[in-house]
Structure 1
Amino acid sequence: MAAGTRRQQEMRKALREMAPRIPMLDAGAVLDLALAGHLRHLPVSIAVWQALASHVRHSHTDYDALLDEGYDRDAARFFVAGAMDAILADWGCARRIGTDTDAD
């Protein structure tokens, strides 16, 4: 029997399918983000994607440093999109950031 609510189980499954090679430490952080209250109203796949993109952006790129240097959000996102795509590819994720700026 798997632990957690049905939504938590669905999120774990969606993340395994979306990014099958994500490191366990990162997977836990993404799932924590995906379970945040402000994402509760979203379908599981969208909540997991937004949490995954946000985690990669904030934890694996210079995004926050760019914001601290005075870049606006859109410019900072533009500059880290390639690095984000590389990380997602390493984790086996078929989806890419490209010009997608909806995930935070």
Structure 2
Amino acid sequence: MMTDAPRSRGTRRQKEMRRQLRVTIPLAPHADAVPILEAALAPHLRRLPPSIALWQAITAHVRHRHTDYEAMLDDGYDRDAARFFCLDEMNEVLTGWGCPRQVTADEPEIAGDGSV
């Protein structure tokens, strides 16, 4: 009788990212968690520790999908001002998702690709 070998559910990094995603934003809707995980696994974040890559992906997703950030940019706000003015909205979303961490105005940008 032949048995199937156990299947791996991704690389060690992918498994760690999924675990940290569940811990960091346990109440996030699946429709948000999937693109956040995909962004955290993007090649340009590969050299970052999983926790930092995931936080970058979470904050970028929330900023672009759940705040008025894009509208502020369209209205002529510079990037730093738009980021500052959407902090409260971001933190409301993160709190609703059960995130123990909040975004602060002095948080450094790490991703370096200009998209966050």
TM range (shorter): over 0.9
The Cα offsets for residues 1-52 of structure 1, whole Å up to 9 and x where unpaired, read as 5522211111000111111111111000100110111100000000000000
Question: Counterparts of 2:48 and 2:109 in 1: how far apart (Å)?
Answer: 13
Q: Does residue 1:3 correspond to 2:4, yes or no? A: no
Which entry has the higher C-alpha Rg, 1 or 2? 2
Question: Quick one: percent identity of the two aligned structures?
Answer: 54
Please, which runs of 5 or more residues in structure 2 have no aligned partner?
A: 1-6, 111-115
Question: Counterparts of 1:18 and 1:51 in 2: how far apart (Å)?
Answer: 12
Map 1:2-81; keep pairs closer than 5 Å.
3-81=9-87
Q: Which residue of 2 aligns with 1:102?
A: 109
Q: Normalising by structure 2, what TM-score?
A: 0.85
The letter for the 1-side match of 2:10 is G
> Are the counterparts in 2 of residues 10 and 44 from structure 1 also a CA contact under 8 Å?
yes
Among 93, 97, 101, the alignment partner of 1:91 is: 97
Please, which runs of 5 or more residues in structure 1 have no aligned partner?
A: none
Question: Counterparts of 1:101 and 1:83 in 2: how far apart (Å)?
Answer: 18
The Cα offsets for residues 60-101 of structure 1, whole Å up to 9 and x where unpaired, read as 111011111110000000110000000000001011112125
Question: Counterparts of 2:72 and 2:109 in 1: how far apart (Å)?
Answer: 18
RMSD: 1.2
Aligned length: 104
The structure in which a higher percent of residues are helix is 1
Tell me by how many angstroms 1:102 deviates.
Answer: 2.0
Deviation >4 Å, runs of 4+: none
Question: Counterparts of 2:69 and 2:43 in 1: how far apart (Å)?
Answer: 24
